[in-house]
Structure 1
Amino acid sequence: MTVPRTEEGLLDRRSLHERIAADLRDEIMTGDLAPGAKLPSTAQLKERFSASNATIQKALQLLKDEHLVVGRAGAAVTVREHQQQTVRPEASMIPGPGDGPYPWLPGIRSAGAAKSRLLDVGETVPPADVAAVLRLAGEALALRRSQVLTVDGEPVELVHSYYPPDLARGTPLAERRRIKGGTPALLADLGHRVLRCVDLVSARVPTQEQYENLRLPGDLPVLRTLRVAYAACPEGERPVEATVMAKAGHLYQLRYEFHPEHPVTPQAPPPA
């Protein structure tokens, strides 16, 4: 098997079927292979990638496991009808309608049943990047609320939300139950109306927890968003919530809008 090199001479050490799946996955995600479209035949793929029949079938099975294509023996493999779903992050800060679904979930699949499943509520030492943005020192604790968001019973996002203990203790945030209307509404009721949010988005290899809770088919990356919500305080503003959200990178994309007529003043990075 020939291992391709980049211009810098670096090797792509993935197996051939993984590289074939990667190229086809990109064509599906960019729309070159549209929903409902047939993939090239096995013979065409064998010629294109100089691969054996078995290697092509292994590549196609990866895409089937990822829910990007469907097919059965003797029939053409086609791109699944639903496209990569788009999430608008700003929608999650809109107070929800009581017991209704989280605001951003109906936007991705309007016909689906959107729900949240609470996993755990308790105090813990947060990850270092969360502790930094919440301005917690050393091994200080934070209150963590963990949940999985689902659509039609399928997990779409793993969410860990962290709060400064002085803000959360003795409030519904510390109770093991859903918060009607979501945390933005509750924070406002507690006197901490969110004024702005900052998102830090990265692609990561999934952790074991993310792999299991999101039922991922393999080592495809997850989109990890660290969102910090700030509220007014006598000193100016303070972080009141830091949320780590992880979703399957091959099924979801984030949409942000920027308006040139309202330039954003660059902010200093959070303290390490």
Structure 2
Amino acid sequence: MARSFEDKRSAHQKIAATLRRQITRGDLAPGAKLASTPALMEQYGVAGTTVQKALLMLKDEDLLVGHPGKGVFVKGGTQQAVSPAVYMPPAGAGEPYRWITEATKQSQRGSTKLLDVGAVAPPHEVAMTLGLGEGERALLRKQILLLDDEPTELTCSYYPLDLAEGTAMMDRRKIRGGTPTLLNELGYPPRAFVDEVSSEIPTEEEVVALELPKDMPVMLTFRVVYSDGDRPIEVSLLTKAAHKYRMRYRLLVT
């Protein structure tokens, strides 16, 4: 016999969740006008203040916008699908980082902001994946990826020091074509990658970096990139706002 379970969220959180799903899945299209507050009050059986709290949540998430005297309209659209595989091949000679070229294809302006570069003691699961012993360090390159000047992804990428030392990866500056291009030039081409995607409660750093609204979870991808001989050459923690993006994978079935 199935056990009884109750959604203990407040009424305005439940209403916001329903409207959010309708927006992100396309049932409420960008520019669509929401029903009036009295109509929503009747639909959900709640007071006007509860409806206003729900709408305020979605305005903070940049999904709704209010126009005085006209109503409340859908501002954001469906979640943007991200296909990780398109970013894996090294950029061609003289080409920019693939994040930028792929954004252009979507009529967006892609850019990056480098936050930190240095040898650090990596998180436990990163050290284990790179085969590092206790006290061994890895190179960290931390950056924010932006679309149309809006922060989209906080990226913390770790590299074995024996690959990075003596290269431009150690410098606190951007690399033409990105680190995948440089690693390829050094004889470590990407051959495969493995993603583990989870939903997480954001840290303070992630909230600030991604300018997240209150109580919004993030989508965290733990990515390992392998070169020849299944050698891990990069381990990244990629953090995105969960309400704006979805991951898209196309896998061949054999």
* TM-score normalized with structure 2 length: 0.92
Q: Name the residue aligned to 2:68.
A: 73
Residue 57 of structure 1 corresponds to 52
Q: Shift in Å at residue 126 of structure 1? A: 1.3
In the alignment, structure 1 residue 202 sits paired with structure 2 residue 198:
yes
Q: Say if 2:227 is the partner of 1:231.
A: yes
Q: CA deviation at 1:130?
A: 1.4
Contact in 2 for aligned 1:94/1:103 (Cα 8 Å): no
Match of residue 246 from structure 2 = 253
Structure 1 counterpart of 2:162, from 163, 166, 178: 166
Tell me the CA shift for residue 230 of structure 1.
0.7
The aligned residue for residue 188 of structure 1 is 184
Q: Structure 1 residues 181 and 101 mapped into 2: Cα distance closer, same or farther (>3 Å)?
A: closer
CA contact (8 A) 2:89 2:190 kept: no
Distance 1:51 1:105, change over 3 A: farther
Structure 1 residue aligned with 2:5, among 10, 20, 44? 10
Deviations along 1:138-158, one digit per CA (max 9) or x if unpaired, are: 232111000001122210010
Correspondence for 1:266: none
Alpha-carbon shift at residue 109 of structure 1 (Å): 7.7
* Equivalent residues of 2:87, 2:99 under 8 A apart: yes
Are 1:96 and 2:125 matched, yes or no? no
TM-score, scaled to structure 1: 0.86
Residue of structure 1 in register with 2:136 after alignment: 140
C-alpha contact (below 8 Å) 1:87/1:108 kept by paired residues: no
Runs of 4+ in 1 over 4 A off after TM superposition: none
For the 8 Å contact 1:96–1:103, the answer to whether it is kept is no
Letter in 1 for 2:91: G
Q: Distance in 1 between matches of 2:44 and 2:105?
A: 35
CA offsets, 1:181-202, max 9 Å, x none?
1111111111111111111111
Question: Deviation of residue 180 (structure 1)?
Answer: 0.6
Give 1:131's aligned residue.
127
Matched residue SS, 1:43: helix
Find 1:241's aligned residue among 226, 234, 237. 234
Displacement after TM superposition at 1:81 (Å) = 5.5
Superposed displacement of residue 211, structure 1: 0.3
Query: Among the aligned pairs, what percent are the same residue?
Result: 45
Aligned equivalents of 1:214 and 1:159: distance in 2? 11
- Deviation, structure 1 residue 137: 2.3
The separation in 1 between residues aligned to 2:222 and 2:240, in whole angstroms, is: 12
Partner Cα distance (2:118, 2:242) in 1: 28
Matched to 1:157, the amino acid is E
Unaligned runs of 5+ in 1: 1-6, 264-272
Q: Unaligned 5+ residue runs, structure 2?
A: none
Corresponding residue SS for 1:77: strand
- The aligned counterpart of 1:24 is 19
